[in-house]
Amino acid sequence: MNIRNVDLNLLVYLNVLIDEKSVSKAANKLALTQPAMSNALKRLRDLFDDPLLVRASGSMAPTAKALALKPEIELLLKMAEEITQPTELFDPTSAKVTFRIMANDYLESTLIAPFITEQLSKNPGINFDILSPSDVNLQDMEKGTIDLAINRFNGLPRSFHQATVWRDNYCCLTHPNNQFLQQSSLEDYLKSEHIWVNRAGWGPEPAVTNKSGKQKLGWVDEALWQLEQTRKIRVFTRHYMIASLLCQSDKLIATLPRRQAKLLTTHTNLVISPVPFQIVPIEVKMIWSPLLHHASAHQWLRRELLEFAKTIADR
C-alpha cells in the first residue's frame, strides 16, 4: 500500500466510528453528512479489506480488525496532534476554556473550591465543570474527555500520567460532648458508634457490609482489620460534608482526613482528636490522559493546581 494513495482523514473517521458505533452519530460528531460518512466507511473497508463495523443487536460493533487498529490509530493521531499543535503559550487571562475535573467532596471542598475562587477574578474566561467519581470511568479519562481526576487511587493503568497533590492524615471529628473525648483509647473508640465515609475511585460504588471479613470497608477499617478489630458503624455515607451534620449527635464519631475535618470545624462547634491507632496516610494524586499531556492549557492547569495545593498544605 502506497501511503500517498491513502487519505489520512479516513483514520480520523475510523477512530470516531469505533467510538460511536454508529454512522449517524459519527457523522454528527465530525460535522459530516451521513452519506459522506457512509462513503468513508466503504472506502475504509476497501482499504483494510475488512468490514470493520458490523450490525449487531441494533447497533454496529467493531470487528477484531477494527479493535486491533484502534490503539495504533490513536497513537498516530496523538503524534499528529503534537506535531501540528501551535507552540504559542496559553494565556489564562484571555482564554475561553472549560476544565473538567473529577474529585470527591473531600477534595472539592478542601482544594477545588478555594482554587476556583482564586481563579474567578484573575481569569474571567476560565470555567470549571466538577464531576463526582460516579460520573466518570477510566474510558472517559483515556479519551481525554476529563481533564483531571483527583483522588486516592489504589491502581491505575500505566499509560496515565500522575502527580502527587498532597498527603493527609486521619483524625476523629466529634461533638464536644462526646464521651470518647474523655478517654480516647482504642477500647473507647471501639465502644463508640461511627460514621463510615468512603469513596471508590471510579463509577458506581457497591453496597458495603460490616458482617464479613471478605469485603473490607475502606482505609480506616482496613487498619482496624490489621489489629483484628472492627468498629460499630451506625451510618454509611459516601459524602464527607454530611459528617458535620451527623456529628451534631454526641454519640457519633467520624474518622476523616485532617484537612476535611479542620474545614468542618470552622463552621461548627465540632472538635478534632487523634485516632487511637495507626492508619496509613492518604496520598492524593491527580491523573490525566496522555492525550492531554502536551496541551499548553492543560499544562497550565496542572501547574497551577499543584502550586495552589502547596499553599494550603498545612492549613
Look at residue 134 and tell me if it is in a domain: yes
Decide: residue 46, CB within 10 A, 0-12 exposed, 13-18 middle, 19+ buried: exposed
**Both 275 and 209 in a single domain?**
yes
**Both 203 and 137 in a single domain?**
no
**Both 111 and 237 in a single domain?**
no
Ranges of H-type helices in the chain: 9-20, 23-29, 34-48, 64-84, 105-107, 113-122, 138-143, 186-191, 219-226, 242-246, 258-265, 296-311
What per-residue confidence (pLDDT) applies to 215? 47
Of the residues 59, 82, 105, which one is the last residue of a structural domain? 82
**Both 118 and 203 in a single domain?**
no
Look at residue 303 and tell me if it is in a domain: yes
The answer to whether the beta carbons of residues 95 and 123 sit under 8 Å apart is: yes
**Both 110 and 138 in a single domain?**
yes
**Both 238 and 178 in a single domain?**
yes
Of the residues 52, 82, 112, which one is the last residue of a structural domain? 82
Across the chain, which has 315 residues, the per-10-residue mean pLDDT values are 70 90 89 90 90 84 91 87 73 94 92 95 94 84 90 80 93 96 94 86 52 61 92 91 92 95 92 95 92 92 95 68
Q: Which domain holds residue 288?
A: 95-165+281-310
Counted domains in the chain: 3
Q: Tell me the CB-side half-sphere exposure of residue 174, using CA atoms within 13 A.
A: 21
**Both 174 and 269 in a single domain?**
yes
Of the residues 82, 109, 141, which one is the last residue of a structural domain? 82
CA separation, residue 146 to residues 55, 123, 289 (Å): 30, 20, 8
Look at residue 87 and tell me if it is in a domain: no
**Both 187 and 236 in a single domain?**
yes
Read off the CATH number of the domain in which 254 is found.
Answer: 3.40.190.10
Look at residue 43 and tell me if it is in a domain: yes
* β-pair partners for 243: none
Look at residue 104 and tell me if it is in a domain: yes
The answer to whether the beta carbons of residues 287 and 160 sit under 8 Å apart is: yes
Look at residue 243 and tell me if it is in a domain: yes
pTM here is 0.67
Read off the CATH number of the domain in which 29 is found.
Answer: 1.10.10.10
* β-pair partners for 196: 236
The answer to whether the beta carbons of residues 246 and 198 sit under 8 Å apart is: no
Determine the Cα–Cα distance for residues 114 and 244; give it in Å rounded to an integer: 19
**Both 173 and 305 in a single domain?**
no
**Both 271 and 287 in a single domain?**
no
Look at residue 89 and tell me if it is in a domain: no
Q: What is the pLDDT of residues 132-161, one digit of tens each?
A: 888 888 888 888 889 999 998 877 777 889
**Both 36 and 59 in a single domain?**
yes
Which cell numbers hold the place of 281?
496516610
What per-residue confidence (pLDDT) applies to 179? 94
**Both 173 and 274 in a single domain?**
yes
